[in-house]
A and B are shown apart, each in its own frame.
Chain A
Amino acid sequence: MAYPYSHPSEVRILSKYFGDPEARTLKGWEARGGYQGLRKALGMERGDVVNEVKTSGLRGRGGAGFPTGVKWSFMPKDSGKPHFLLCNADESEPGTFKDRELMRWTPHQLIEGCLIGAYAIQASHAYIYIRGEFFEPAQILARAIEEAYAAGYAGKDVIGSGVTLDITLHLGAGAYICGEETGLMNSLEGRRGEPRVKPPFPAVSGAFAKPTTINNVETLCTVPHILTNGGAWYRQWGTEKSTGTKLFCVSGHIARPGNYEMPLGFNFKEFLYDVCGGIPNDRKLKAVIPGGSSVPIMAADEIDVPMDYEGFVAAGTMLGAGSVIVMDETTDIIRQVGRMVDFYSHESCGQCTPCREGTTWASKIYRRIRAGFGTEDDLQTLLDISDNMTGKTICVLSDSCAAPIVSSIQKFRDEYLAVVERSEPVVAEIA
Chain B
Amino acid sequence: MSSPTTTIDPRLAHAAPDNGKRLPNSVLAMIIFVVAEVMFFAALMSAHTIARATVPGGVWPPAGQPRLPVERTAFNTAILLLSGVLLFVANRRSRAGYEKARPYLAGAIATGIAFVLLQGVEWVALLREGLTMTSSAHGAFFYLIVGAHALHAVVAIAVLTAIYFPMRRGTLAPSTFAATQVFWYFVVLLWPVIYLRVYL
- A and B: bona fide binding partners: no
List B residues at the A interface (Cβ < 8 Å): none
Task: List residues of chain A with CB under 8 Å of any chain B CB.
Answer: none
